[in-house]
């Protein structure tokens, strides 16, 4: 028996070593680094306690990045979730060409984010299609394009993000819808429940675990937004987000590892609190009502 | 016994030969197909002239080259010779990653320009190679259409402003007077600082103790820059601005010698005019930067590396490079005086402008200063900031960065 246990441990050893080396060690090391003035180029560094954290909380660039991250997350998560649910309800119905719609909605989420970002940068540019359509509809569009205007850049990226990710969450909602037993709807129908009542009393409550998963995953993803910003604006025009700030501080120009690590841990705590709040909110009642 | 002796002798000879040969590794950024063969041929010529030295070349890109250099130096795996941008030198030198080359380079310093950018703490850390400045380009056809004579030269900022406004307002809705860069990192400040300096402003006091970016001249220069940006500016990234300029939609742009090369490569029929930067005193001051060759402090082949640097920066090698790349700013003074530049009216403007250009301070905190300057310009051009407020904010940030990182 003991021999079997040893062999089992041996089998898991490669994963344990990899996990320790590439996940646990960097996690602990970067946490400790947040309390130092470490810079990649400097040969020495020293322990400075909470100085990085207190400096960050007074750093207007970091606070602005946090604000933008919250705007991005709080602006995209509800829209993406609601749209994904509506699309899932739509493509869950029987109609001709349903498969085409399902695939069509899902394709953006499997396309390279860099490619999508480049295409949207073009669409949002001066004289691009978005500006053209906006002008045709009588809207005033930014003179230099949507991404070169502090008032529209972040929202334009958010719109792209919603377009790109809604199909993925739609698919997850669709799986959730398929798991709801038909008997429940039949019984409700016999009892005279209207389709609206069925939606609010059966569909929505039973989708709660799926919705929780989507909200948590989408929150983490939104708080970590980086690629879109890197490709489309480089953090300019009021689009600097927390992860882009960390990248700029830690991996460009001055390579301030200590400062960037502290910023990363502040973001880590925020994401943790946000995720925990969602879990608590959804676990309050077990009767599947919202 | 004879065999043994012969074998030992052979081993000794080959061993000695092998130990005498050295290999130096060079990391460089010139990967464009138009110039890479020239770089390779220069390396080959060096190896032929120095049969005891081999050179291994590694190409870097501007997208992530700096990251690679930093990581390599920090981990002790850097190459012997590094091509560095002028604004990186202070940071690397300050952290002890570059060899002090004062003894090796000082003797022929009079033969080269640009030493100010590679001197830190009174020591020379890199040799100037290919320098770079920006000049004012104009579309001569648009100037003519706007009613200016064919020999018109905007010598003052007022003359430049008036000509740009005339082009931007009199030649139709799709023609702009000025190509204005958007908030691109590492680019925007290079476009603004020539106006700042040409207005007579300076970043620091003469004794280098205090930042004075928000002086009256500084504020006026940013007000002027915003005015041309807002009223007649075609706003895009560097490529977009140059595209519009070459498509005949923009009257003036501030750009580098790569634009000349691009016109030739694309075989464009373009009536290009190049002017020295206008200013209150003519000529105005432009931005000066460049490529430098430095040696890793940990290099075990310093002597060979110095030999290589001297070869690559020799007037002949620089001329071969400049001709292949249409580069206009060799660091070698002998190369600058070559008839090749004298006979080319456009490239000649670069040579003259280089002598009237200013480089940013050689300071390890420069990235923080650069961020502060770009943030101020961005805020004024694209946000709601006022020049005075934005520059005062930049002034404060620069002084804070300086005091935060001051050495005891």
Contact (Cβ atoms closer than 8 angstroms) between residue B196 and residue B369: no
- DSSP character string of B232-295: HEEEE-HHHHHHHHHTT-EEEEEE-THHHHHHHHTT----EEEEPPP-SSSS--EEEEEEEEEE
Determine contact: B182 vs chain A, CB below 8 A: yes
Question: Is residue A3, in this structure, part of any structural domain at all?
Answer: no
Which CATH architecture describes the domain B21-132+288-358?
3-Layer(aba) Sandwich (3.40)
Chain B residue nearest residue A250, CA to CA: B67
What's the token pair of residue B21? 């040969």
Determine contact: B97 vs chain A, CB below 8 A: yes
Domain holding A160, by residue range, is: 34-283
How confident is the model at residue B184, as a pLDDT? 86
CA angle centred on A56, ends A54 and A59, rounded to 5°? 115
Question: Is residue A25, in this structure, part of any structural domain at all?
Answer: no
Contact (Cβ atoms closer than 8 angstroms) between residue B281 and residue B2: no
Q: Which residues of A touch B (CB under 8 A)?
A: 39-43, 126, 143-144, 148-150, 234, 236-238, 251-255
User: How far is B318 from A36, CA to CA, in rounded Å?
Assistant: 45
Are domains B21-132+288-358 and B135-276+365-404 of this chain identical in fold?
A: yes
| A150 closest CB neighbour out of B74, B236, B383 | B383
Domain B135-276+365-404 indexed as CATH 3.40.190.10: yes
Determine whether the interchain pair A144/B367 forms a contact, defined as Cβ–Cβ distance below 8 Å: no
> To 10 degrees, what angle do helices B36-49 and B315-325 make?
160
As a whole number, the mean pLDDT across chain B is 92
Which residue, among B260, B317, B332, has the nearest Cα to B42 in the 3D structure? B317
- The most confident of the ranges B55-64, B216-225, B397-406 is B216-225
> What is the C-alpha radius of gyration for chain A, rounded to an integer number of angstroms?
24
pLDDT at B232 over 70: yes
B133-157 pLDDT, tens digit each? 999 999 999 999 999 999 999 999 9
What backbone torsions phi and psi does residue B207 show, to the nearest 5 degrees? -85, 5
Determine contact: B200 vs chain A, CB below 8 A: no
CA angle centred on A121, ends A120 and A125, rounded to 5°? 115
Contact (Cβ atoms closer than 8 angstroms) between residue B385 and residue B374: no
Give burial (CB, 10 Å; 0-12/13-18/19+) of B340: middle
3-class state of residue B338 by DSSP: coil
Categorize the per-residue pLDDT at B89 as very low, low, confident or very high, splitting at 50, 70 and 90.
Answer: very high
How confident is the model at residue B403, as a pLDDT? 86
3-class state of residue B26 by DSSP: strand
Q: What is the pTM of this model?
A: 0.84
How confident is the model at residue A285, as a pLDDT? 57
Q: Where are the domains of chain B?
A: 21-132+288-358, 135-276+365-404
Interface with B, mutate which of A41, A234, A258, A260 (most B CBs under 10 A): A41
Neighbours of B67 (CB within 10 A): 14
How confident is the model at residue A41, as a pLDDT? 87
How confident is the model at residue A253, as a pLDDT? 78
Count the helices and strands in chain B (H runs, E runs). Answer: 18, 13
Place of tokens 């890109």: B61
How confident is the model at residue A179, as a pLDDT? 93
Determine whether the interchain pair A40/B185 forms a contact, defined as Cβ–Cβ distance below 8 Å: no
pLDDT at B253 over 90: yes
Categorize the per-residue pLDDT at B407 as very low, low, confident or very high, splitting at 50, 70 and 90.
Answer: low
Contacts 24+ apart (CB under 8 A), B243-248: B244/B176, B244/B179, B245/B137, B245/B139, B245/B179, B246/B270, B248/B139, B248/B141, B248/B142, B248/B175
Question: Is residue A16, in this structure, part of any structural domain at all?
Answer: no
Place of tokens 């030969």: B17
User: How far is B205 from A220, CA to CA, in rounded Å?
Assistant: 48
Residues 6+ apart with CB under 8 A from A264: A30, A34, A246, A250
Number of Cβ pairs closer than 8 Å across A and B? Answer: 50
Q: What ipTM score was computed for the predicted complex, to two decimals? A: 0.79
Residues 6+ apart with CB under 8 A from B211: B203, B204, B369, B395, B398, B399, B402
Our CA-based measurement puts residue B67 at a distance from the nearest CA of chain A, in whole angstroms, of 7
User: How far is A185 from A195, CA to CA, in rounded Å?
Assistant: 9
Determine contact: B73 vs chain A, CB below 8 A: yes
Strand order in the sheet with B176-181: B233-236, B176-181, B250-255, B135-139, B272-275
How confident is the model at residue B31, as a pLDDT? 93
In chain A, how many domains are there? 1
Under-50 pLDDT residues of chain A: none
B322-335 pLDDT, tens digit each? 999 988 899 999 99
Question: Is residue A8, in this structure, part of any structural domain at all?
Answer: no
Interface with A, mutate which of B63, B85, B87, B91 (most A CBs under 10 A): B91
User: How far is B372 from B356, CA to CA, in rounded Å?
Assistant: 25
pLDDT at B18 over 50: no
Residues in chain A: 290
Residues 6+ apart with CB under 8 A from A254: A39, A41, B91, B367, B368
Higher pLDDT, A216 or B408: A216
Question: Is residue A276, in this structure, part of any structural domain at all?
Answer: yes
User: How far is B82 from B64, CA to CA, in rounded Å?
Assistant: 14
Categorize the per-residue pLDDT at B108 as very low, low, confident or very high, splitting at 50, 70 and 90.
Answer: confident
Chain A residue nearest residue B234, CA to CA: A144
Question: Is residue A7, in this structure, part of any structural domain at all?
Answer: no
> To 10 degrees, what angle do helices B366-382 and B188-198 make?
90
Share of chain B above pLDDT 90, in %: 83
Classify residue B359 by its DSSP letter: P
pLDDT at B8 over 70: no
Q: What is the 3-state secondary structure (H, E, C) of chain A?
A: CHHHHHHHHHHHHHHHHHHHHHHHHHHHHHHHHCCECCCCCCCCCCECCCHHHHHHHHCHHHHHHHHHHHHHHHHHHHHHHHHHHHHHHHHCCCCCCHHHHHHHHHHHHHCCHHHHHHHHHHHCECCCHHHHHHHHCCCCCCCCEHHHCCCCHHHHHHHHHHHHHHHHHHHHHHHHHHCCCHHHHHHHHHCCCCHHHHHHHHHHHHCHHHHHHHHHHHHHHHHCCCHHHHHHCCCCCCCCCHHHHHHHHHHCCCCCHHHHHHHHHHHHHHHHHHHHHHHHHHHCCCCCCC
Place of tokens 């530049």: B341
User: Which residues of A fall within a CB distance of 8 Å from B92?
Assistant: 41
User: How far is A232 from A114, CA to CA, in rounded Å?
Assistant: 9
Interface with B, mutate which of A253, A255, A257, A258 (most B CBs under 10 A): A253
Which residue, among A23, A12, A52, A11, has the nearest Cα to A35 in the 3D structure? A52
Q: In the predicted model, what is the mean pLDDT of residues B67-88?
A: 94
Which CATH number fits the domain that encloses residue A201?
1.10.3720.10
Question: Is residue A10, in this structure, part of any structural domain at all?
Answer: no
Categorize the per-residue pLDDT at B68 as very low, low, confident or very high, splitting at 50, 70 and 90.
Answer: very high
> To 10 degrees, what angle do helices B387-404 and B216-232 make?
130
User: Dihedral (C-alpha) B100, B105, B110, B115: value to the nearest 10 degrees?
Assistant: -40
Contact (Cβ atoms closer than 8 angstroms) between residue A108 and residue A164: yes
Residues in chain B: 408
């Amino acid at each position: 028996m003991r021999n079997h246990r040893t062999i089992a441990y041996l089998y898991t050893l490669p994963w344990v070593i990899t996990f320790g080396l590439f996940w646990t060690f960097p996690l602990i090391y970067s946490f400790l680094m947040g309390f130092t003035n470490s810079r990649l180029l400097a040969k020495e560094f020293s322990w400075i306690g909470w100085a990085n954290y207190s400096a960050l909380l007074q750093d207007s660039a970091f606070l602005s990045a946090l604000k933008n991250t919250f705007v991005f997350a709080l602006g995209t998560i509800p829209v993406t979730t609601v749209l994904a649910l509506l699309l899932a309800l739509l493509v869950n119905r029987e109609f001709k060409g349903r498969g085409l719609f399902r695939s069509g909605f899902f394709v953006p989420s499997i396309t390279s984010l860099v490619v999508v970002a480049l295409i949207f940068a073009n669409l949002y540019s001066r004289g691009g299609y978005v500006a053209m359509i906006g002008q045709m509809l009588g809207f005033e569009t930014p003179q230099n394009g949507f991404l070169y205007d502090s008032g529209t850049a972040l929202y334009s990226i958010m719109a792209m993000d919603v377009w790109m990710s809604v199909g993925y969450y739609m698919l997850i909602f669709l799986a959730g819808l398929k798991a709801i037993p038909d008997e429940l709807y039949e019984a409700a129908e016999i009892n005279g429940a209207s389709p609206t009542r069925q939606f609010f009393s059966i569909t929505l409550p039973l989708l709660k675990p799926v919705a929780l998963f989507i909200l948590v995953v989408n929150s983490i993803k939104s708080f970590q937004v980086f690629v879109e910003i890197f490709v489309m604006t480089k953090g300019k025009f009021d689009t600097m987000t927390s992860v882009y700030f960390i990248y700029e501080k830690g991996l460009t120009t001055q390579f301030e590892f200590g400062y960037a690590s502290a910023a990363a841990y502040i973001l880590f705590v925020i994401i943790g609190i946000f995720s925990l709040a969602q879990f608590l909110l959804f676990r309050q009642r077990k009767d599947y009502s919202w | 016994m004879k065999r043994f002796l012969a074998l030992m002798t052979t081993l000794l000879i080959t061993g000695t030969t092998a130990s005498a040969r050295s290999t130096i590794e060079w990391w460089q950024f010139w990967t464009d197909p138009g110039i890479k063969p020239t770089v390779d041929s220069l390396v080959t010529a060096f190896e032929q002239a120095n049969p005891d030295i081999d050179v291994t070349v590694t190409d870097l890109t501007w997208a992530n080259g700096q990251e690679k250099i930093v990581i390599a130096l920090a981990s002790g795996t850097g190459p012997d010779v590094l091509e560095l941008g002028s604004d990186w030198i202070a940071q690397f030198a300050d952290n002890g990653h570059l060899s002090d080359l004062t003894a090796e380079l000082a003797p022929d310093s009079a033969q080269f320009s640009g030493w100010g950018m590679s001197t830190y703490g009174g020591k020379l850390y890199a040799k100037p190679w290919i320098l770079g400045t920006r000049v004012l380009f104009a579309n001569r056809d648009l100037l003519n259409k706007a009613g200016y004579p064919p020999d018109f030269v905007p010598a003052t900022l007022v003359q430049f402003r008036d000509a740009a406004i005339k082009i931007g307002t009199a030649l139709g809705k799709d023609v702009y007077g000025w190509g204005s860069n958007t908030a691109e990192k590492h680019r925007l400040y290079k476009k603004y600082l020539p106006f700042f300096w040409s207005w007579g402003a300076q970043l620091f006091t003469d004794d280098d103790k205090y930042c004075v970016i928000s002086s009256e001249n500084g504020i006026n220069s940013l007000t002027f820059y915003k005015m041309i940006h807002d009223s007649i500016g075609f706003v895009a990234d560097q490529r977009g601005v140059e595209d519009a300029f070459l498509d005949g939609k923009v009257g003036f742009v501030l750009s580098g010698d790569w634009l000349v090369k691009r016109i030739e490569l694309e075989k464009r029929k373009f009536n290009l005019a190049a002017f020295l930067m206008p200013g209150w005193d003519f000529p105005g001051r432009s931005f000066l930067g460049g490529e430098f060759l430095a040696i890793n402090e940990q290099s075990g082949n310093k002597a060979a590396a110095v030999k290589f640097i001297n070869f690559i920066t020799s007037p002949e090698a620089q001329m071969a490079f400049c001709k292949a790349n249409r580069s206009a700013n060799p660091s070698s003074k002998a190369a600058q005086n070559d008839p090749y530049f004298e006979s080319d009216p456009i490239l000649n403007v670069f040579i003259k402008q280089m002598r009237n250009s200013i480089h940013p301070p050689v300071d390890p905190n420069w990235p923080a200063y650069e961020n502060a300057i770009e943030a101020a310009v961005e805020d004024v051009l694209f946000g709601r900031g006022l020049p005075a407020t934005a520059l005062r904010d930049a002034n404060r940030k620069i002084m804070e960065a300086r005091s935060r990182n001051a050495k005891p």
